[in-house]
Chain A
Amino acid sequence: MKFGVVTFPGSNCDYDAFAAVKFIIKKDVDFLWHKSESLEGSDVIILPGGFSYGDYLRPGAIARFSPIMKSVIKFARSGGIVVGICNGFQVLLESGLLPGALMRNSHLRFAHRHIYLKVENSLTPFSNACPPGKTLKIPIAHGDGNYYSFRADLEKLRDHGQIVFTYATSDGRVTPEANPNGSLMNIAGICNREGNILGMMPHPERAVEKILGSDDGVYVFNSLVAHFEKQRAATG
């Protein structure tokens, strides 16, 4: 099982994602340069956080047209596992791989602190290792994390179990006070209908050791590993 972490100009969480994979879950991992079109045989692609292309125009708008994204889009459309974190989530939305848009935070301030996530769907490749009922303590760090979508699309997301994570209180109540950025329905992370593409604003790669304030992010990485192990067992 091999991970590929894409580096765009302006990515700044690529090393965190790389380190989480290499040192915490101890899997193969390579950086994938934005100018390359090769995914180097990766089974999981991570689009990391940061400010790709300086966030010029709109976050993710220019990264979406970089050479590596041609291959990532093809990989995702054929069922490959893709995880977009923070700026990576913005890139996935701009690519049209996930529905909706991320707008400026409703209070217009950069939001950076630990929040709690409720796992709304624990049957995805990204959340299957999360203990039932446990909220995940994970940091956020973004200025444009305010998830927006049209009502009809929101209802589809909800009805098809595509809302994977919502902002909640530490005991798992999804309240307006727990919403750090104005996202509709407190949405923090969604997947596509097929369930192979995840976008999330919080940073699981920054919460992988107790010394970082939380190691709950490891559940997301462990879920990916468990998903692949199950798949391997099924195909023999």
Chain B
Amino acid sequence: MSKAKAVVYIRLKEGVLDPQGKTISQAMINMGYNEFISVRSGRFFELECETRPDLEQRIEEVCRKLLSNPVVETYRVEMIS
């Protein structure tokens, strides 16, 4: 069985408010790091997978159905090895 690794990055769509990022950004300013203009937060997942011909399509599916909320988030998949 050969294996593959995928990293999935989830981020909020442009234009969707990110109160968490905004609060972190404010904390950075309070700490004196004035050069950071804004912060957007997100999540990432590492998926260890068995390889199969339609693997990338299957990863897309779980991204769409489960890992992201397509109403407010986008995802990006990076295949490793």
Chain B residues, Cβ within 8 Å of A99: 71
Q: Which residues of B, 10-31, contact A by the 8 Å Cβ criterion? A: 16-17, 19-20, 23
- Asked if residues B71 and A101 are in contact (CB atoms below 8 Å), the reply is yes
Secondary structure at chain A's binding surface: helix, strand, loop or mixed? Answer: loop
**CB of A113 closer than 8 Å to a CB of B:** no
Chain A residues touching B, range: 20 to 34
- Asked if residues B71 and A61 are in contact (CB atoms below 8 Å), the reply is no
Known interface pairs A104-B19, A104-B20, A105-B19; A148-B72 also in contact (CB < 8 Å):
yes
- Asked if residues B19 and A108 are in contact (CB atoms below 8 Å), the reply is yes
- Looking across the interface, which residue of chain A has its beta carbon closest to that of B71? A101
Chain B residues, Cβ within 8 Å of A172: none
Chain B residues, Cβ within 8 Å of A106: 17, 19
- Asked if residues B17 and A103 are in contact (CB atoms below 8 Å), the reply is yes
Chain B residues touching A, range: 10 to 19
- Asked if residues A65 and B19 are in contact (CB atoms below 8 Å), the reply is no
Q: Which residues of A, 73-102, contact B by the 8 Å Cβ criterion? A: 93-94, 99-101
How distant is B26 from chain A, measured CB to nearest CB, in Å? 11
Chain B residues, Cβ within 8 Å of A93: 71
- Asked if residues A58 and B69 are in contact (CB atoms below 8 Å), the reply is yes
**CB of B67 closer than 8 Å to a CB of A:** yes
**CB of A57 closer than 8 Å to a CB of B:** yes
How distant is A111 from chain B, measured CB to nearest CB, in Å? 13
Task: From the candidates B16, B20, B72, name the one contacting A108 in the complex (CB within 8 A).
Answer: B20
- Asked if residues B67 and A57 are in contact (CB atoms below 8 Å), the reply is yes
Best-buried of B23, B67, B72 by chain A (most CB within 10 Å): B72
How distant is A64 from chain B, measured CB to nearest CB, in Å? 9
How distant is A9 from chain B, measured CB to nearest CB, in Å? 17
**C-beta contact mask, B45-81 vs A, less than 8 Å → 1, else 0?**
0000000000000000000001101011000000000
In the complex, 23 of the A-B residue pairs with CB atoms within 8 angstroms, ordered by the A residue number, are A57-B67, A58-B69, A61-B66, A61-B69, A62-B66, A65-B66, A94-B69, A99-B71, A100-B71, A101-B71, A101-B72, A103-B16, A103-B17, A103-B19, A104-B19, A106-B19, A108-B20, A108-B23, A148-B17, A148-B71, A148-B72, A149-B71, A182-B19
Chain B contact residues, CB within 8 Å of chain A: 16-17, 19-20, 23, 66-67, 69, 71-72
